[in-house]
Every structure is written in structure tokens, then in C-alpha cells.
């Protein structure tokens, strides 16, 4: 196999692994930019993966065929938003500790989803196998070396994720809505004085994170596993949090970080094609992304710049 094809395939494989992380990290950015810590991304992904599995199955039963996975994505968005509302109500309305209510999401998601799956499918801990997305080739662009193979022969969810990176950047930094969302996360007191409804902006931020993390979870069910079980999501939500922090709460940065994590997942499979790699214990190859992240953080990125009001419930009486 020649080097260019190999590079193209590596890039393609990277994107498959990164897509879910991109969605979820973007979601995390909307929540945290509005000042609400979202450690519940893992749980929201579980909700999404679950809804995609169940939604697609029933859509298929109803005879929707090729549309079924899209129904699954839609279900994932709805369930993701519903799940995130628990977090929003507790941490915004009732001013609960945001970290704690995020962890509540993780617990509820892990419990509820498997419980419901067992109820729906006669005690089976897994949804039946479903039809999933297929890769779509983009004509002409597909023929560019490396990039064509890498980008333009991907799942529809991957294209959606790439577009969303730009959309998220534009919304956050170029629209009045984005300015308000960020102001609420930086200095809610000032934003409130200027007539921005702090609670409402934060609710919107958290709900967007629910929707996006839901799609993120759905991506894994609908492109990788074809079924939902208790271990469909195993830590990707936390990696997405890491990608968000790594990317300094910026959509483009988070995209880069998600690509980095995806790349290190993909390279596992490719490095084994080479003779020299067999002398390295596989555990060390598995470790690379995590160790490398720490090293990069130590050497280059330095102090993380979180939104200044992150984690603090807004209390107008203490303005």
C-alpha cells in the first residue's frame, strides 16, 4: 500500500473516532461558556446513544428504512435536551453545585437507559442490531489525494460535525446571542444590568450542550457499534471534556483537540502494520494519547483560561 493511500485512510479513520468527540466538546463549550460546568457530558452521551439505538429500531419497525438513523439522531437530540434539563433545573434554578448535578446526570443516564432497554426488549441488556449510516462519497472532491480519501468519503454525521464547528464559532463570536451567552459566563452581574436574562441564557447553553452531546452519543451507536449497551459509551464524554479544556473553550481549538484524540485512537490500528511496532508492548501504544495530552498541556498550553464565572450559580442579590 502506498503512503498517500495510507495517510488518507488514517485521516478517515481519525474522523470516525473524532466525530462524537467534536459534537460533545462543542456542546460542552456552549454550556461552560454560559457559566455552567458540565461534567455530565458522559451521561448526556449515554442518553443520546440510547435514544439513537431505540429510536432507530422503532423507526425501522415502522418501515422508514433509510430514514431510520435520522429518526434516531432526532430522538437523541430530544432525549439529550431532556437529560440536560435535569442539570439546568438543579444548577440554575435551585443553585445546586454544578459539578454535583452533572454527576447526577451520569448516574441517572447509566441507570435509566439500561433499565428501559431491559424493559423494552424482554430483559435483554442490549438493543437489537440496527441499520446504521453509510459513508457518502462527494464527487470530484473525493479524487483529491489524501484529503479526498480522508475527508470526502465519510459518514453524514462527520460532515455535520465539521460544519457545526464553523457554525458554533460564528454563533459564539460573531452574533449578539453569542456575545450574551459569553457575557453571562464571564460576568453575569454586568450582563444582568444590561438586560440580559442570565437564567434564560444559561438554560439555553445547557440545552444546546444536551442536544449536541446527544448527537455525539448517537454517532457512536449509528456508525460504530450498531447497538446500544451499557458499555457503548465508556469514557468518551470525559475525553470530550478534556478536548474542550484542551481547546480552551474555543470551537476551533476543541475541534483540533478532538482530532488529536481521534488520531491517537486511529493510529493504534495502523501502527501495527509496521514491523518495528511489534517490539513495543501494545499497552504503551494505547497510553500514547493520554500521556501526550499531559505533556502538551505542560509544555505548550499552560494555564487554562476558563470563563470567569464558571461554576458559580448566579445570585442577583450578591451583585
Partner 1 sequence: MSRLRRIFTLDSLIVPLVAILLGLIVGAVVMLLGGYNPFEAYSALIKRVVGNPYDFGETIRQITPLIFTGLAVAFAFRSGMFNIGADGQVLIGMTSATAVSLSMSGVSSSIVVPVSVIAGGVAGGLWAAIAGYLKAKRGINEVITTIMLNWTALYLSNYVIRHFFLLKGQNRSEDIGASAALTFLSGIFNNARVHWGIVIALLAALFFYVYLWKTKQGYEMRAVGFNQNAAEYAGMNVGRNVVKAMFISGVFAGLAGAFEVLGVFHYQSVFAASPGYGFDGIAVALLGMNHPFGVVLAAILYGVLTYGSAGMSFAAGVPPELIKIIIGSIIFFIAAQGIVRFVLKPFYLKRKKEKVL
Interacting residue ranges for partner 1, rule: CB under 8 A: 39, 86, 89-91, 93-97, 99-101, 103-108, 110-112, 114-115, 118-119, 123, 230-231, 234-235, 238-239, 241-242, 245-246, 281, 283-284, 286-287, 289-291, 293-294, 297-298, 301-304, 306
Find the Cα–Cα–Cα–Cα dihedral 286, 291, 292, 297, rounded to 10°: 150
CB of 243 to partner 1, least distance (A): 9
CB of 142 to partner 1, least distance (A): 35
Which CB atom, from 181 or from 257, has the smaller least distance to partner 1? 257
Which CB atom, from 92 or from 222, has the smaller least distance to partner 1? 92
**Burial state string for 213-225 with b = 16 or more CB within 10 A and e = fewer than 16:** bbbbbbbbbbbbb
Distance in angstroms (rounded) separating the CA atoms of residues 152 and 17: 16
Which CB atom, from 112 or from 252, has the smaller least distance to partner 1? 112
CB of 231 to partner 1, least distance (A): 7
Which CB atom, from 205 or from 289, has the smaller least distance to partner 1? 289
**Burial state string for 235-267 with b = 16 or more CB within 10 A and e = fewer than 16:** ebbbbbbbbbbbbbbbbebbbebbbbbbbbbbb
Which CB atom, from 193 or from 308, has the smaller least distance to partner 1? 308
CB of 125 to partner 1, least distance (A): 8
CB of 24 to partner 1, least distance (A): 14
Distance in angstroms (rounded) separating the CA atoms of residues 254 and 207: 19
CB of 100 to partner 1, least distance (A): 4
Other beta carbons within 10 angstroms of residue 111's beta carbon come to 13
Q: Tell me the three cell numbers of residue 205.
A: 447553553
Which CB atom, from 63 or from 318, has the smaller least distance to partner 1? 318
Which CB atom, from 2 or from 283, has the smaller least distance to partner 1? 283
CB of 73 to partner 1, least distance (A): 25
Amino acid at each position: 500500500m502506498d503512503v498517500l493511500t495510507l495517510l488518507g485512510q488514517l485521516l478517515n479513520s481519525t474522523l470516525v473516532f473524532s466525530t462524537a468527540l467534536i459534537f460533545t466538546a462543542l456542546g460542552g463549550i456552549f454550556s461552560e461558556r454560559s457559566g455552567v460546568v458540565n461534567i455530565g457530558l458522559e451521561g448526556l452521551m449515554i442518553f443520546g446513544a440510547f435514544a439513537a439505538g431505540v429510536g432507530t429500531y422503532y423507526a425501522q419497525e415502522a418501515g422508514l428504512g433509510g430514514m431510520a438513523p435520522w429518526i434516531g439522531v432526532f430522538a437523541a437530540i430530544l432525549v439529550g435536551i431532556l437529560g440536560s434539563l435535569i442539570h439546568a433545573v438543579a444548577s440554575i434554578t435551585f443553585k445546586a453545585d454544578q459539578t454535583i448535578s452533572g454527576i447526577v446526570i451520569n448516574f441517572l443516564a447509566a441507570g435509566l437507559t439500561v433499565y428501559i432497554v431491559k424493559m423494552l426488549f424482554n430483559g435483554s441488556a442490549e438493543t437489537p442490531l440496527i441499520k446504521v449510516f453509510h459513508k457518502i462519497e462527494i464527487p470530484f472532491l473525493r479524487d483529491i489525494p489524501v484529503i479526498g480519501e480522508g475527508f470526502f468519503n465519510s459518514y453524514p454525521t462527520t460532515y455535520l460535525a465539521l460544519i457545526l464547528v464553523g457554525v458554533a464559532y460564528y454563533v459564539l463570536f460573531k452574533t449578539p446571542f453569542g456575545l450574551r451567552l459569553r457575557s453571562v459566563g464571564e460576568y453575569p452581574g454586568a450582563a444582568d444590568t444590561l438586560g440580559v436574562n442570565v437564567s434564560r441564557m444559561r438554560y439555553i447553553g445547557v440545552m444546546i450542550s444536551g442536544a449536541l452531546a446527544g448527537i455525539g452519543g448517537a454517532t457512536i451507536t449509528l456508525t460504530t457499534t450498531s447497538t446500544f449497551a451499557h458499555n457503548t459509551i465508556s469514557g468518551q464524554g470525559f475525553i470530550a471534556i478534556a478536548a474542550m479544556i484542551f481547546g480552551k473553550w474555543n470551537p476551533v481549538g476543541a475541534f483540533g483537540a478532538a482530532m488529536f484524540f481521534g488520531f491517537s485512537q486511529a493510529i493504534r490500528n495502523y501502527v501495527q502494520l509496521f514491523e518495528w511496532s511489534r517490539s513495543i508492548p501494545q499497552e504503551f501504544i494505547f497510553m500514547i494519547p493520554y500521556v501526550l495530552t499531559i505533556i502538551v498541556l505542560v509544555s505548550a498550553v499552560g494555564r487554562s483560561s476558563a470563563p470567569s464565572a464558571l461554576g458559580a450559580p448566579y445570585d442577583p442579590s450578591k451583585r
